[in-house]
Structure 1
Amino acid sequence: MRYFSRDGLTFDLDDSAGDDAADVTDGQEVVVLLHGWPQDRRAWRGITPALAEAGLRVLAPDLRGYSPGARPPRASDYVIGESVADVIALADAVGAQRVHVVGHDWGGALAWTVASRHPDRVASLTVLSTPHPTAMAWAFKHGDQARRSAYMAFFALPFVPAALFRRLTRPFLVRTGLPQDLAQQYADRMAQPGAAQASLNWYRAALPLKHMVAERVRGSKSPARPERVRTAADVVPTTFVWGSRDAALGRAAAERTGVVVRRAAEKAGVDPGAAYRFVEVSAGHWLPEKRPQEVTEAILSRVRSASS
């Protein structure tokens, strides 16, 4: 498969099975890799070969806003539930009842949500950089995450950020640690008509959620709260990989993620040691591109333990 479709949108896709394998056969395990901002599916190309060599079918889509055929115009088209449905549609397209989900940055936020809303479809979860949503809300109050996340309000402005990032994407990404060749590739994508605006719609759609997070920090109930884990079947085996030099996502939220996931596992009667693993690496934000070996090892370890 090179494309999949949902609701009139067509998504570009890297599929390690090649052009002739449209469906899962012989019980092959499937891994879905979800990139962040302003990446695309090329972020995973240092990781995919090792996963495929291990016998996994690896699917790496360009998410909504990044695929030229999947750039709806309204910010409301980018609410997290729409992207969750995109991931489930991809699993359906290859005939996979359950998939191993991996996500980084916004793809990490998406991965947490897919596992929360569809635990029956997720065999394991590996999240890079992005803490659990509940841990993020906690760190807004108890840590420095509010300061670290302040840039999101700027990114959510209607037009100015897109105009700036069309011109400044490459130097910005290089300054934050990306290799120059990848920074140029991502910058070229942002220069495509509508691409920068569409990718920033992820932030604009999240603005209501930020208000809900603020309400939750103040103690009120929020409809943004992730679905509760009620039974052992709701517990998805999870690995969280975090770079200790990540400027946007700090230690308070990273360490709180373990508290949140382990506590949920305990309440469901699941061994928290089997349900959660935390991997800290001495690195910044761009883990798929800069630390592919550590990321690959974390994914394979989680997939194997979930499949045994």
Structure 2
Amino acid sequence: MEAFFRNGLRFEVLDQGPVGAETVVLLHGFPQSARSWAAVSRPLLAAGYRVIAPDQRGYTPGARPRSRRSYRLGELVADVVALIDAAGADRVHLVGHDWGDGVAWMVAATRPDRLHSLTAVSAPHPRAVVNAMLTSPQLLQAWHVGFFQLPWLPEAAVRARSGRYAVALLQRSGLSEHVAREYIDRLRADPGALAGALSWYRAMPLDVSAGRAAGAVTVPTTYVWSTGDTALGRRAAELTRRWVTGPFDFKVLDGVSHWIPEQAPEELAASISERVDGGADLPSEDP
């Protein structure tokens, strides 16, 4: 499968591994793409899984609606369900990082019938984030979320000085200069890509109630968080277990930044494989 379609939109997909094998779906975040999962995919493919990574709404040329309402969580969740249908799978093992993790939590909460398991990477359960903002510095740590909702200014910041300012910000958050430059250059060079990626943030005010209403997750879940994450603090990470009623495993990567798929791909792939193979039998661990 090279692409799937939903409501006239075309989503490009990297689909590797044997059809009929256990299927792992990988959802990227900002400012990544399906290719950001390359180093994670290799050991998963070697383990015999089918691995599917889409370029999500806004990041893929054929799926960039202009209205910010088109980027609400309900639409993003429906995109994932359409992908699972197109893959010919009844249920999949879902993995998300950053914004892709936010979508993955909502898929698990609202469509558990389509999942075998969830591996959430970096971003806590949405309810845990809301709670942490009231009891920790989480609101200040996520300053960029408010900035990216502003009109035109985020675009200007990303394009300023040939993208050097944006690359420097990503480097300070832990991403290597080479990878940061790759991500920013792609957004700058591809017409509509930057606006599409920022639309996820600009739709957030329309989704406040959805985030607060996110229910408990019943599917077997592994949550991978890293101590070097400057945007998502420990308080929200530790509160996440309150909103998972199914089997839950909390894994902490010491010294790793927010960019777990790029910085610790083998460790992440091992956690995904453990969840896929162990399913409901995985024990819960304390960090």
For normalisation by structure 1, the TM-score amounts to 0.85
Structure 2 residue matching 1:66: 3-state secondary structure: coil
Structure 1 partner of 2:223: 240
- Kept in 2, the 8 Å contact 1:39–1:186? The answer is yes
Instruction: Give the deviation of 1:128 after TM superposition.
Output: 0.6
Residue 9 of structure 2: aligned partner: 9
Structure 2 CA distance for partners of 1:70 and 1:245, relative to 1, 3 Å = same
One-letter identity of the residue aligned with 1:60: A
Q: Which runs of 5+ in 1 are unaligned?
A: 213-221, 230-234, 266-274
Partner of 2:215: 227
**CA–CA separation in structure 1 for the residues paired with 2:216 and 2:182:** 39
The equivalent residue for 1:215 is: none
Q: Is the CA contact 2:97–2:120 (under 8 Å) kept in the aligned structure 1?
A: yes
Determine if the alignment matches structure 1 residue 296 to structure 2 residue 269.
Answer: yes
Could you tell me how far apart the structure 1 residues matched to 2:206 and 2:81 are? 24
Choose from 268, 276, 280 the match for 2:252. 280
1:238 Cα offset (Å): 0.2
The structural deviation recorded for 1:69 is 1.1
Check 1:150–1:223 CA distance in 2 against 1; reply closer, same or farther (3 A cut).
closer
CA RMSD of superposed structures (Å): 1.7
Q: Aligned equivalents of 1:223 and 1:195: distance in 2?
A: 25
Instruction: Indicate the residue corresponding to 2:285 in structure 1.
Output: none
Distance 1:238 1:44 in 2: 20
Alignment partners' CA distance in 1, 2:93 and 2:146: 32
Query: Deviation digits for residues 71-104 of structure 1, max 9, x if unmatched?
Result: 1111111001111111111110111000000000
How far apart, CA to CA, are the structure 2 residues paired with 1:43 and 1:86? 19
Q: How does 1:187-226 map to 2 (within 5 A)?
A: 187-191=184-188, 192-210=190-208, 212=209, 224-226=212-214
How far did residue 258 of structure 1 move?
1.6
Question: 1:158-192 CA distances to partner (integer Å, 9 max, x unpaired)?
Answer: 21102211333323222322122221221122111
CA contact (8 A) 1:134 1:260 kept: yes
Equivalent residue for 2:150?
157
Going from structure 1 to structure 2, the CA distance change for 1:223 and 1:181 (only over 3 Å counts) comes to closer
- The 5-angstrom pairing of residues 170-181 of structure 1 reads 170-181=167-178
| C-alpha displacement of 1:227 | 3.2
Equivalent-residue separation in structure 1 for 2:94 and 2:216 (angstroms): 19
Q: Distance in 2 between matches of 1:14 and 1:131?
A: 26
What is the Cα deviation at residue 10 of structure 1? 1.0
Is 1:253 aligned to 2:236, yes or no? yes
Residues 245, 156 of structure 1: alpha-carbon distance in 2 compared, 3 angstrom cutoff: same
Report the AA paired with residue 199 of structure 1: A
CA distance in 1, matches of 2:174, 2:228: 11
Distance (whole Å) between structure 2 residues aligned to residue 284 and residue 177 of structure 1 = 5
Q: Structure 2 stretches of 5 or more lacking a match?
A: 282-287
Runs of 4+ residues deviating >6 angstroms: none
Distance 1:240 1:198 in 2: 27
**Under a length normalisation based on structure 2, what TM-score does the superposition of the two structures give?**
0.91
Alpha-carbon distance in 2 for matches of 1:145, 1:175:
18
* 1:232-290 per-position Cα deviation (integer Å, ceiling 9, x unaligned): xxx100000001111100000000012332xx34xxxxxxxxx0000001111000000
| 149 and 176 in structure 1: CA distance in 2 versus 1, 3 angstrom threshold | closer
User: Contact 2:69–2:206 at 8 Å: present in 1 too?
Assistant: no
- Residues 116-131 of structure 1: pairs in structure 2 closer than 5 A: 116-131=109-124
1:11 and 1:62 in contact (8 A); partners too: yes
